[in-house]
Structure 1
Amino acid sequence: MKHDEREPSAPDPVDVRLGARLAELRGERGWSLGELAERSGVSRSTLSRAERAETSPTASLLNRLCAVYGRTMSQLLSEVEAEPEPVVRAADQPVWEDRAAGFVRRSVSPPHGGLRGELVEGRLAAGADIAYDRPPVAGLEQHIWVLEGALTVTDRDTDHHLGAGDCLRLRVWGPTRFRCPGPGAVRYALAVVRP
């Protein structure tokens, strides 16, 4: 739900836990909001609002923070959930949504501290366009398998146009961008392997 649609006194519980975890990570490093702003390229006010759950963080914001903290987005999101079980039922798979960007992310196999891989389902609305200025972890291996629709993935300066059934394998070293050209939404599986 968009921040402006919620009552100010009723922030989303996931945003509250996520904000607390972000504040904890910053505190563990002894950084001020100003230091984190310099490292991440995100304004102090935006960081403060995210930590206090006054706003729901966007995918791009979380990606920048993950890069600073050396985590994948799934790792960060899993840290605000309970320890994952070996079998994760569909109804129990954590879902995170960036409504403003038209992006829904389901952690199909939430990450575990002893494992390097994870599986994510992504859904982008027609016309959605999400840009990441850096990988959350340099050299991250990704396998992007389009299940329905069409997806354009830009890895640095190279565009990859994918249709249903196509799979792109890459190691992420620089900026990436995910776009759904339409006419309908796209649904894809993303296998992520930490280096």
Structure 2
Amino acid sequence: MREDPEGALDPVDVLLAARLAELRGERGWSLEELARRSGVSRSTLSRAERGEISPTASLLGRLCAEYGRTMSQLLSEVEAEPAQLVRADAQTVWKDTASGFVRRSVSPPQPGLRAEVVEGTLRAGADVSYERPPVPGMEQHIWVLEGSVEFTVGREQHTLYAGDCLRMRLWGPTRFRCPGPEPVRYAVVVVQS
């Protein structure tokens, strides 16, 4: 679990750990069952649910796929009810220090609305992969704001530069890689069916 310089635990990680345990409990799954379904070890799942580790983007991606949620939906479940206006300083930022991925929930999911906007930043050399989308057929638009990113969907790789936008429906594995030398900053618009 991440701590700030004064030693306090990251409040989002604390709430996220509790929510992950709740989701498994709601389905009546044991840790062994979730491990079998997700391909994540029982010990890693247990440590994530107890808040002993901060889950990586890849781990959250696997769990979201099992629970039928986007990462934004999962993170919104540990936040207060979203407002119509989301000021920059109030947007939830989640960091995966292991992979170099920073995720800002610019426009979080809200009941009755079908789209959400996420800003992603990857440091040079960072590489984040997802085995499958949380919701098969989910529509995404990736718009590069600064830098470049190699985005692989299935077996097809696209190199996107500042201003480029790639739109697709996701059915299989995806991968974001920042070739550098500069970091990449991009927006992802997720549209639920």
TM-score by length of 1: 0.95
Aligned length: 192
Q: Percent identity, aligned pairs only?
A: 72
2:16 alignment partner, one of 7, 15, 18: 18
- Aligned-pair distance for 1:2? 5.2
1:105 alignment partner, one of 79, 103, 112: 103
1:124 alignment partner, one of 110, 122, 127: 122
Could you say which residue in structure 2 is the equivalent of 1:161? 159
CA contact (8 A) 2:2 2:13 kept: no
Within 5 Å, give how 1:35-54 maps onto structure 2: 35-54=33-52
Equivalent AA in structure 2 for residue 152 of structure 1: E
Q: Residues 6, 58 of structure 1: CA spacing in aligned structure 2 closer, same or farther, 3 A cutoff? A: farther
Within 5 Å, give how 1:116-195 maps onto structure 2: 116-195=114-193
1:74 alignment partner, one of 65, 72, 95: 72
- Aligned-pair distance for 1:12? 2.2
Q: Could you list the per-position Cα deviations for residues 143-171 of structure 1 after superposition, in whole angstroms to 9, with x for gaps in the alignment?
A: 00000000110000000011010000011
Gaps of 5+ in 1: none
1:91 alignment partner, one of 89, 92, 96: 89
- Aligned-pair distance for 1:6? 9.0
* C-alpha separation in 2, matches of 1:177 and 1:142: 13
* C-alpha separation in 1, matches of 2:178 and 2:168: 19
Q: Does 1:30 align with 2:28?
A: yes
Matched residue SS, 2:157 = strand
Q: Residues 140, 6 of structure 1: CA spacing in aligned structure 2 closer, same or farther, 3 A cutoff? A: farther
* C-alpha separation in 1, matches of 2:6 and 2:85: 33
Equivalent AA in structure 1 for residue 79 of structure 2: E
CA contact (8 A) 1:72 1:137 kept: yes
Matched residue SS, 1:36 = helix
- Aligned-pair distance for 1:17? 0.4
* C-alpha separation in 2, matches of 1:81 and 1:2: 17
CA contact (8 A) 2:149 2:184 kept: yes
* C-alpha separation in 2, matches of 1:119 and 1:110: 7
TM-score by length of 2: 0.96
Matched residue SS, 1:48 = helix
- Aligned-pair distance for 1:45? 0.4
CA contact (8 A) 2:2 2:10 kept: no
* C-alpha separation in 1, matches of 2:126 and 2:6: 23
Gaps of 5+ in 2: none
Equivalent AA in structure 1 for residue 45 of structure 2: L
Report the aligned-residue RMSD: 1.5
- Aligned-pair distance for 1:191? 0.2
